[in-house]
C-alpha cells in the first residue's frame, strides 16, 4: 500500500514541474529562491505540540495502520493522499513535501498573472510567497496550502480558458478543506456561465468520489454527516450587526500579510471601485471567493468561543490577494509614476521592521534597546534603498525587504512551530515521567500538550500510562501533571498528594519597548499511600 500512496505525491511533483517549466527565467528564479527559504524553515523549525500541523502529520503517518483515515472529515483526502507516504519518512520529510503544493500555487499564480496581462508576473509569485501564513505553511503540514494550490490552478484555467485545468484545480479545492465544496460550486457557476458544462460537472467528481468511498467503507450513506468533525456546535451562525465592522476577516487580512501588500490591495480596490474605472475581467474571479470568505469569517462562530479562528484561513485565497497586490502596484505607478516604486519600498521597510519585531521577541533588560536598534537598522536600510533607487532597482529592493523578516525571524515563527512555555514544560514532564522508576500505575494531566509532546519527541504511541485521574480517590502511586495558567503562582498539592517534580518556563509579553517576562509553572503530584515508594 505504501508504494501506491507514493503515486499521489509523485503526480503532484510532476504537476509542479510542468507548471514551473512554463515560467520565464524570472519566475523560475522566484520559485528556486523561495524553495530554498521554505526548505531551510522546514528543516530548522522546532515543533509545537497542540497545533493542527502536528495532528495532521500524525494522522497522515497512521494511514497505513488505518486506511479509513483517508476519509477523515477534518484532514480531508487531498492532504492524506499527498502526505501519507512522505509522513512515513518523518516530520521534516512531510514538511519538505510542502514545497510541492507551494510551487504549484506560486507557478500557477505567476502564469495566471502573465495571461491576464499584469505587469511583471514574477511579482505575483513574490507577493504570494511573502504572505506570512503562506510562507509558514510552505514548510509545514497544513490543508490551506493545498486549497491555495487548487485555487491557483483554477484561476490559471479560467485565465487561459482551459476548462479541464480549471476543473482539476476546483476538484482539488473540493477535497482539501471543509469549506471547499462551497467554492467548487462558485467556480462551477463560472464554468456554467461560459457554457463549459462538462468541466463544471467534473469539478465535483473528486468530492463525489470521496462521499461514495465513505459510504462504502462505513456502510452508511449519511456517514459524512454522522462522522463530521464539526458537529456538536463547533461551528454555528453568529448574526450580529457589529460583525460588519468587527469581522475577523479584517484581522486575518492584516495579520497574514505584510502591511505593504495590504496597502497595495486596498489601492487596487479603491481604484476599481471608481465609476469610470476599467475593471479587468479577472476581477470577479478574485473578489467573489474573497467575498464568500468574508461572509464565513464574519457570520460564523468557529470553535467554542471562536477559539479556532486564525489568520491562516486566508492562505487558501493567497493567489487572489497576490493578483490584487500586483494590480494595486500597477495602478499606483500610473498615478505616481516617479514616486510609486519608492513609496512601495518605504512602506515595505516599515512593515519589515514591524514584522521582525513582532516575531523575534528580545527578552532581558536590554530588550527595549535592542528592539530600538533593530527598528533603526531596518529603517536606515530602507532609507538607503529609497535614495539609491537609480542604482538598486526599486522592485528588487521591494522584494528584498519583503524577504528580510522571513529570513531573519526564528525558524518556524510563521508556521506556529515554536512551542510556547506550557508545551516545553509538558515535554520536560514527559521526559521525567518516562525515566521514572518504578513506573507509575497511571498518569493524569490537565494540559493538552503532554500526550502529543510525548508522542512527537519520545515515542509514538506515547509509552506513558495516561488516563483519567480523580484527585480525591486516585490509587497510591498515581501521578498528576498540573500546569498553572501563565503568570499564575503554583499551588500546593491537595491533601494526600506530594510534589515530586516542578518546572518553570516563560516568555516575553507586552510591547516591544516595555516588555515583561511572564512565567508558566508546572508540577507533578504523587498520590501518597501505603504502597508509595521513593522515586528514582
Residues paired with 508 in a beta bridge: 517
Closest listed residue to residue 108, CA positions, set 204, 179, 172:
172
Mean pLDDT across 117-133: 96
| Nearby residues of 448 by Cβ (< 8 Å), 6 or more positions away | 50
Q: What is the DSSP letter of 425?
A: H
Q: Cα(498)–Cα(472) distance, rounded to whole angstroms?
A: 13
Cα–Cα distances (Å) from 243 to 115, 249, 303, in that order, read 37, 10, 17
Helices 144-159 and 318-335 cross at an angle (nearest 10°) of 60
Percent of the chain at pLDDT > 70 equals 95
User: Which H or E element spans position 16?
Assistant: helix 7-21
Q: Is the pLDDT of residue 418 over 80?
A: yes
Q: Using an 8 Å Cβ cutoff, are 425 and 432 in contact?
A: no
User: Which H or E element spans position 480?
Assistant: strand 479-483
Mean pLDDT, the chain, rounded, equals 90
Per-residue exposure over 139-161, b if at least 16 CB sit within 10 Å of its own CB, e if not: bbbbbbbbbbbbbbbbbbbbbee
CB-CB neighbours of 493 under 10 Å: 19
Q: Cα(256)–Cα(310) distance, rounded to whole angstroms?
A: 9
Band (535; pLDDT cuts 50, 70, 90)? very low
The pLDDT assigned to 485 comes to 87
Q: Cα(464)–Cα(469) distance, rounded to whole angstroms?
A: 14
The pLDDT assigned to 283 comes to 82
Q: Cα(268)–Cα(127) distance, rounded to whole angstroms?
A: 14
Band (364; pLDDT cuts 50, 70, 90)? low
Cell 464574519 sits on residue? 298
Q: Using an 8 Å Cβ cutoff, are 40 and 413 in contact?
A: no
**Range scoring the smallest mean pLDDT among 213-217, 271-275, 298-302:** 271-275
Q: Is the pLDDT of residue 7 over 80?
A: yes
How far does the chain reach from its first CA to its final CA, in angstroms? Answer: 44
Grid cell in block for residue 273: 471601485
Residues paired with 235 in a beta bridge: 302
Q: Is the pLDDT of residue 19 over 80?
A: yes
Mean pLDDT across 521-531: 86
Closest listed residue to residue 105, CA positions, set 283, 318, 282, 253:
318
Grid cell in block for residue 87: 509522513
Mean pLDDT across 309-317: 92
Cα–Cα distances (Å) from 364 to 251, 424, 509, 513, in that order, read 30, 20, 11, 12
**Range scoring the smallest mean pLDDT among 137-141, 230-234, 285-289, 462-466:** 230-234
Cβ neighbourhood burial of 308 (10 Å; 0-12, 13-18, 19+): middle
**Range scoring the smallest mean pLDDT among 174-178, 394-398, 509-513:** 509-513
Task: Please state whether beta strands 479-483 and 516-527 pair in parallel, antiparallel, or not at all (unpaired).
Answer: antiparallel
Residues paired with 122 in a beta bridge: none
Q: Cα(6)–Cα(390) distance, rounded to whole angstroms?
A: 50
The pLDDT assigned to 363 comes to 54
Q: What is the pTM of this model?
A: 0.93
Q: Cα(90)–Cα(523) distance, rounded to whole angstroms?
A: 31
The pLDDT assigned to 367 comes to 61
Q: Using an 8 Å Cβ cutoff, are 503 and 429 in contact?
A: yes
The pLDDT assigned to 536 comes to 45
Mean pLDDT across 307-331: 92
User: Which H or E element spans position 522?
Assistant: strand 516-527
The pLDDT assigned to 103 comes to 98
Grid cell in block for residue 420: 510556547
What digits encode the pLDDT tens for the residues 59-84?
999 999 999 999 999 899 999 999 99
Q: Cα(394)–Cα(387) distance, rounded to whole angstroms?
A: 10
CB-CB neighbours of 334 under 10 Å: 10
Cell 490509587 sits on residue? 475
Q: Cα(101)–Cα(137) distance, rounded to whole angstroms?
A: 10
Q: Is the pLDDT of residue 362 over 80?
A: no
Closest listed residue to residue 206, CA positions, set 153, 133, 161, 160:
153
Closest listed residue to residue 333, CA positions, set 324, 343, 347, 323:
343
Could you give the strand order of the β-sheet that contains 497-509, starting from the edge strand earlier in sequence?
Answer: 443-445, 479-483, 516-527, 497-509
For the chain, helix, strand, coil in percent to 5 are 60, 5, 35
Amino acid at each position: 500500500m505504501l508504494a501506491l500512496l507514493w503515486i499521489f505525491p509523485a503526480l503532484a511533483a510532476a504537476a509542479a514541474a510542468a507548471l514551473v517549466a512554463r515560467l520565464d527565467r524570472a519566475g523560475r528564479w522566484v520559485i528556486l529562491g523561495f524553495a530554498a527559504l521554505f526548505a531551510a524553515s522546514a528543516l530548522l523549525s522546532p515543533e509545537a505540540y497542540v497545533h493542527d500541523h502536528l495532528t495532521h502529520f500524525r494522522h497522515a503517518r497512521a494511514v497505513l495502520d488505518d486506511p479509513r483515515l483517508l476519509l477523515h472529515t477534518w484532514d480531508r483526502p487531498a492532504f492524506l493522499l499527498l502526505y501519507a507516504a512522505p509522513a512515513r519518512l518523518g516530520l521534516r520529510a512531510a514538511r519538505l513535501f510542502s514545497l510541492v503544493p507551494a510551487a504549484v500555487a506560486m507557478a500557477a499564480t505567476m502564469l495566471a498573472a502573465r495571461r491576464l496581462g499584469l505587469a511583471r508576473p514574477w511579482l505575483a509569485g513574490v507577493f504570494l510567497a511573502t504572505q506570512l501564513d503562506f510562507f509558514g505553511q510552505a514548510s509545514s503540514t497544513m490543508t490551506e496550502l493545498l486549497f491555495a494550490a487548487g485555487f491557483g490552478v483554477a484561476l490559471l484555467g479560467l485565465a487561459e480558458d482551459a476548462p479541464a485545468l480549471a476543473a482539476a484545480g476546483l476538484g482539488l479545492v473540493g477535497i482539501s478543506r471543509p469549506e471547499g465544496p462551497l467554492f467548487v460550486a462558485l467556480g462551477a457557476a463560472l464554468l456554467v456561465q461560459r457554457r463549459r458544462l462538462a468541466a463544471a460537472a467534473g469539478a465535483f467528481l473528486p468530492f463525489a468520489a470521496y462521499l461514495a468511498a465513505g459510504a462504502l467503507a462505513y456502510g452508511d450513506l449519511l456517514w459524512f454527516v454522522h462522522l463530521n468533525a464539526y458537529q456538536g456546535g463547533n461551528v454555528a451562525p453568529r448574526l450580529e450587526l457589529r460583525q460588519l465592522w468587527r469581522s475577523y476577516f479584517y484581522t486575518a487580512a492584516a495579520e497574514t500579510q505584510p502591511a505593504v501588500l495590504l496597502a497595495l490591495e486596498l489601492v487596487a480596490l479603491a481604484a476599481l471601485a471608481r465609476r469610470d474605472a476599467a475593471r479587468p475581467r479577472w476581477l470577479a474571479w478574485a473578489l467573489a471567493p474573497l467575498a464568500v470568505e468574508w461572509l464565513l469569517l464574519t457570520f460564523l462562530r468557529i470553535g467554542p468561543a471562536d477559539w479556532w479562528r486564525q489568520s491562516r484561513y486566508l492562505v487558501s485565497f493567497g493567489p487572489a490577494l497576490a493578483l490584487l497586490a500586483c494590480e494595486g502596484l500597477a495602478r499606483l505607478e500610473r498615478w505616481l509614476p516617479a514616486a510609486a516604486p519608492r513609496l512601495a519600498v518605504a512602506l515595505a521597510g516599515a512593515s519589515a521592521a514591524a514584522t521582525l519585531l513582532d516575531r523575534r521577541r528580545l527578552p532581558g533588560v536590554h530588550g527595549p534597546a535592542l528592539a530600538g536598534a533593530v527598528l533603526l537598522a531596518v529603517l536606515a536600510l530602507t532609507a538607503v534603498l529609497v535614495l539609491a533607487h537609480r542604482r538598486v532597482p526599486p522592485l528588487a529592493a521591494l522584494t528584498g525587504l519583503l524577504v528580510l523578516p522571513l529570513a531573519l525571524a526564528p525558524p518556524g515563527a510563521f508556521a506556529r512551530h515554536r512551542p510556547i512555555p506550557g508545551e516545553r514544560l509538558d515535554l520536560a514532564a514527559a521526559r521525567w515521567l518516562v525515566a521514572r522508576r518504578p513506573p507509575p500505575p497511571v498518569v493524569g494531566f490537565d494540559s493538552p500538550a503532554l500526550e502529543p509532546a510525548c508522542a512527537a519527541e519520545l515515542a509514538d504511541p506515547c509509552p506513558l500510562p495516561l488516563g483519567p485521574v480523580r484527585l480525591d480517590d486516585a490509587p497510591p502511586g498515581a501521578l498528576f501533571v498540573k500546569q498553572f495558567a501563565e503568570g499564575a503562582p503554583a499551588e500546593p498539592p491537595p491533601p494526600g498528594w506530594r510534589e515530586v517534580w516542578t518546572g518553570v518556563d516563560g516568555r516575553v509579553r507586552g510591547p516591544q519597548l516595555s516588555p515583561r517576562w511572564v512565567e508558566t509553572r508546572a508540577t507533578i503530584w504523587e498520590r501518597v499511600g501505603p504502597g508509595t515508594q521513593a522515586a528514582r
